[in-house]
Amino acid sequence: MKKAVYTLLFFFLAGGSTLLFGQDPAQLEDARTIRRIYDLALTQSSAYDWLYHLTKDIGARSGGSPEAAAAVEYTRQMLDSLPTDTVKLQPALVNHWVRGEPEMVRIVNSEQIGTQDLHALALGNSVGTGPYGITAEVVEVFGLDELETLGREAIEGKIVFYNRPMDPTQIQTFAAYGGAVDQRGYGASRAAGYGAVGVLVRSMTTRLDDIPHTGTMRYEEGVEHIPALAISTNDAELLHRLLEREAVRVFMRSTCRSLGYSESYNVIGEIRGSTYPDEIILVGGHLDSWDVGEGAHDDGTGCVQSMQVIETLHQLGYQPQRTIRCVMFMNEENGLDGGRTYWERSNAAGEYHMAAIESDAGGFTPRGFSCDGDEAVFATKFAQVYEWLPLLEPYGLTLSKGGSGADISGLKSQQGLLFGLRPDSQ
């Protein structure tokens, strides 16, 4: 079903539905075609085989790594085996950061528990601590604004521990993520501005477990670069309880470093439109993952769903009126380098993306699509899109205004519609 939903929206946009262009309604025929899309995707899909190879045979695919290069070549070959008119590699310079040796975060000589190791991962782009590590007292805050309240005297020479959790009452967990992720993204530089020597961040998840979650962070110009690590939510709870009773000292060690920029590629395959070849409908996901996970949900699923669009439309015997372009973006996780390269070159070339659809929210049960665009676009085009809703409702799908995806965000200026696939986020 997950693959069928993605192909379904593409079919509408590519000109397959009579509803889109104001012709005489033919909802019965549209409904039959939708059913065929579902049947084909559920019974004759190559997507799970592609995903298995990406995640199990190739594995973690961080930007600039040999595994990322292998993923580029594999998806190029798979697109070449599909009925595409052209397949190409688009060069993109990507931020190449490596984790180094396993990290160590250790509570030192606590009155309550003695010495205890915590589960930790360095954040992407972080500098390392140096070979001998850092030992310092911990100061806990629940947001960036608290740093100003505490002031330099309370922070200088210490490790700042950001412990604002994701809000578990948010039904849409991406909203909860957005309410907490500023600590990870900007916490190190803000703390360094007050003289901190390091940062610990509560992992971005609503679960209580021992699994630390990495993610990207960035340094502000003119501020010292200090090491930043994420700790598991269980360890964050432990550290919080200890800090309520006593001053806590922590030792942290990491050897991560940046290797500068390396050449990599976006992978692009397309079918030229039969009637409106200069009107592009993009479907895509990002090919890279973090170095500590196989990236099945983030975002191997989005990549194979995108390739599946081409396969399923071919199985239907459908020739799109508009150009279908499948893009696997590189290094979304740690710099958005592939997405930025794509939209900068597209904008400079004067291309027109009538629509762009990104899948980067996981591979769970699809619930629908959110749609983005500037106000002028919404005033006309979203009303047309909303006419599809009766055809989507039998499959439990919705259409709503909202965000789309990071890799396609720079295409908004082309005055098309941007869509994000929205699976069950719980």
Q: Tell me the residue type at 333.
A: E
Q: Which two tokens stand for residue 46?
A: 């190559």
Task: Tell me the torsion sign for CA atoms 129, 264, 83, 412.
Answer: positive
CB 88 within 8 A of CB 268: yes
DSSP state of 236: H
Of 67, 294, 332, 358, the catalytic one is 332
How is the chain split among helix, strand and coil, in percent rounded to 5? 40, 25, 35
Helix and strand element counts for the chain (H, E)? 14, 16
**Rg (the chain; Cα; Å):** 23
Rounded-to-integer distance, Cα 282 and Cα 284, Å: 7
Does residue 294 carry a catalytic annotation? no
DSSP secondary structure letters along 343-411? HHHHHHTT-EEEEEEE--S-SS-EEEEEEE--HHHIIIIIHHHHTTHHHHGGGT-EEEE----GGGGGG
Task: Quickly tell me which residue has 């990236």 as its tokens.
Answer: 295
Long-range Cβ contacts of 108-111 (<8 Å, 24+ apart): 108/135, 108/249, 108/250, 108/251, 109/249, 110/242, 110/246, 110/248, 111/245, 111/246
Question: What is the greatest pairwise CA distance in the chain?
Answer: 77
Rounded-to-integer distance, Cα 240 and Cα 351, Å: 52
Rounded-to-integer distance, Cα 94 and Cα 262, Å: 5
Active site residues: 332
